[in-house]
Each structure stands twice: as structure tokens, then as C-alpha cells.
Amino acid sequence: MLSSWRRYADSHPHLVETAFLLLVLAVTSRQYVHQGPGWWQGQPLALVATAGLLPRRGHPRAAVLVTAACAAASVALGYLISPLLLLPVLIALYELAVRTPQRTAYACYGATVALVVPAALLSARDGRPWMDESVGPVFWILLPVLAGTAVRNRRAHLDAVHTRAEHAERTREEEARHRVAEERIRIARELHDVVAHHMALANAQASTAAHLARTHPEQAHEILTHLTGTTASALRELKATVGLLRSPDDTGDTGGPDDLRPPPGLGRLPELVSAFGSAGLHVTVTVRGTRRPLPPGVDLTAFRIVQEALTNVTKHTDAGTADVHLAYAHDRLTLTVTDDGGASPRPPGPGGGFGLVGMRERAETSGGRLSAGTLADGGFAVTAELPAPPPAREQPS
């Protein structure tokens, strides 16, 4: 029932406003019938005060001024000051307090009191106590100001809460988009490393086998055997990577036996060197310092950087040798992959290609940095510095 009346009032605002003003006029006019010199003197003041409420929403100060002047004139004529006589003033002050700053509302309140109360005191008749002519009106006029200020503060609080909620919602959406973008980049980088490495390696092995098929069939057969292992390894890593996308939960568990295999790290470097050796690239690995276990993320990053750097050697040069140098310091691992450039010059890649971009992103994600560039003798070097925290010392028992 209440909601239906509210919908009706929202759809007929002018009718509701007219009914409200007629009700205020009726209540105010009744005060002039038995309280004062005569009703005929007070009715014009009641009409003017009620009409003064018309602009109370657009011009609340003007409404307060008109209604306060009518109230002062009424009490000056000898009408008994009461809350019902002051009703237009109270309504105007409430609208003013709701729509203007608190300082303005209290200033208008003081001006209204200064206008109405002295008029009531100067026109006091029939021995009415001065307390009734002063303290009462001061309190009645203050009530709508307090109520309007409270409503205004409540609305400001709700607006602030709504604004914060909208900001939080936008922030959550931006954070979700940012996470999705990061995950897409991570998956694209992983797929690029897996596909580019294995496809380049398989292409090199197939080309070498085709070249040796007539002159050295045994070597060609051995290379083709390695090629089968390369393609099988590619399929396993692609299955594991794509399986992360199809996983129904956040664990990434796809239920296959390959999921139990740990992610690649520098421990698989001999396997990687052997695979490139079958493709005709002789890789030498040297280690300086004490080799130690690395955090899983850093270990994977180091392996992928070496893998991508050697893949680029087979893709972009005809170099026959490459060097992988691992230098373990106190809290850093510096790995360098270099090649001799081969007989033909290295073709320039536009923008460095996705390989260098992916290696640099991997290094920065792990808290390190990567640099790459040509050497004076025509070769190419990729150098990455990665965090390698020293192992925790065992506590003496």
C-alpha cells in the first residue's frame, strides 16, 4: 500500500505539492480565527507565507525570508506565537538546512530568530510571560534546522559510501582485467617457449637427418630417434600447459600422470644440451662457483632463458657452437649464452622478436634483469642476472 502511494506521488508531483500547500494553508489559517485581533487581518499573511513556500527547493533563502517576515508581522499584530503559526517558517528552514551548507542554515536560523522573537516581545499582550515569547520560538525554530542538517549529513554519508562502492567496484574490475592480462601474457610466453624451442629443434634435427641420410645413414637414423623424442617432449609440455587452462579449479591438476613431473630447471640442462647436439649445435656448459638449488620460479626462468637463447642460435644463425656460462655468486646467478655467429651474419629481427621480449619478462618477473646484444666478433650474447639466495645454514643442535 505504501509503495503504491509512493509510486503515485512520484508520478504526480504537482498534485502532491498542491495538496501539501493547501494543508499548510488550512493549518496556518486556523491560528488566526480565535487568536488575535481578527481572522481577516491574518488570512493575507497566511496566504503570502504559504505562497512563499513555492520556491523553497530552488531558492530556499527567499522562502525563509518571506515566511519569516510574515511570521514577524503576525506576532507584531498581536497573534499568539505558536508552532502552527510558525509552520511555514519551519518548513522553509528545513528545506534550507537540507539543501545548503550547515553554516548557511545556522546563519538563516539566527536571522529568523532575530526577526521573530523581538517582534513577539514588543507586542506581548494580556500579560503573557516573556519566556513563552522568546525561549519557545527559539527552540521551535531550531528543530527544523537540526533535522535538516541531520538529513543532509546522512545523504552526504550515503553518497560517499556509494562513491566508495563504485570506486571499489571499478578497482576490482581493473584488478581482474590486470590479472587476466598478466595470465594471458604468462601463458603466451610459456607456449612460445615450448613451441618455438621444440619446433626449431625438430626442424634442425630433420634438416640434419635429411643431409646425412645418404652419406651417413646410421647418424641420420640416430638423429631421427632424437627427433621422435623431441616431438614427444613437445606434446607432453603442450599438454601440461594447455591442461592448466582446462583445469576446473585453481590447482591446475588435470589428473594426468604428466602433471606429477616437476617443472623444468637447470637440472635438465644436460638433456637440453644433448637435444641441441643432435641438431648439430655443440653446446659447452661451464660453471663457476658452487652450484646450489634455486627457488622453483628462478630455476624455471633460468632454464627457459637458456632454452630460448639456444633456440635462437639454431633459428637465426648457422653457428656450430654455443657456450653456456653459469656464475654463482653470494646471492646472484649470472648466466650467459654466447655463440660464434657462424659463417653468415645474423639477420636483424624487428623489435627483437618475442623470444627476447619473453626472456626479459621472465627475468624481470623473477626479480632479475636481462641484456642481449651482438659481440665484436659477430656473435651474440644473452646475459641474465637472477636472484639466487644462499642456502639456509643448519642450526647447531
Each residue's pLDDT tens digit, 308-323: 888 888 877 778 889 9
> Angle at the Cα of 394 (from 393 to 397), degrees rounded to 5?
145
**How many CA within 13 A on the CB side of residue 315?**
17
The residue-averaged pLDDT of 288-309 equals 88
* pLDDT of 356 strictly over 50: yes
Cα dihedral sign, 73-75-80-85: positive
**Whether pLDDT at 129 is above 70:** no
Output the nine-digit C-alpha cell for 267.
637440472
Q: Which residue has the higher pLDDT, 238 or 296?
A: 296
Residue 256 has pLDDT above 60, yes or no: no
Q: What cell numbers appear for 347 in the block?
A: 639477420
> Across residues 224-238, what is the average pLDDT?
70
Phi, psi of 110 (to 5 degrees): -60, -40
Q: Looking at residue 257, what is its pLDDT?
A: 46
- Between CA 35 and CA 41, with CA 39 as vertex, the angle to 5 degrees is 110
Report the candidate in 89, 90, 93 with the shortest Cα–Cα distance to residue 71.
Answer: 89
Dist CA 358 CA 197 (whole Å): 13
Asked if residues 140 and 109 have their Cβ atoms less than 8 Å apart, the reply is: no
Q: In what order do the strands lie in the sheet with 321-328?
A: 282-288, 321-328, 332-339, 380-387, 369-374
pLDDT at 187 over 60: yes
Backbone angles phi, psi at 154, to 5 degrees: -65, -45
pLDDT, position 260: 44
**pLDDT above 80 for 76:** yes
State how far the Cα of 258 lies from the Cα of 233, in Å rounded to an integer. 11
Q: Using CA atoms, how far apart are residues 272 and 396, in angstroms rounded to an integer? A: 39
Domains located in the chain, CATH noted:
2-168 (no CATH), 265-391 (3.30.565.10)
Q: How far apart are CA 249 and CA 356, in angstroms?
A: 32
Identify the three-state secondary structure at position 30.
helix
CB atoms within 10 A of CB 212: 18
> In the numeric block, which cell numbers belong to residue 309?
637463447
pLDDT value for 225:
73
Q: Check residue 220 and give its pLDDT.
A: 72
Whether the pLDDT of residue 169 is over 60: the answer is yes
Q: Which of 205, 184, 187 is CA-nearest to residue 195?
A: 187
Residue 380 has phi, psi (to 5 degrees) of -140, 145
Question: Does residue 395 register a pLDDT over 60?
Answer: no
H/E stretch holding 325 reads strand 321-328
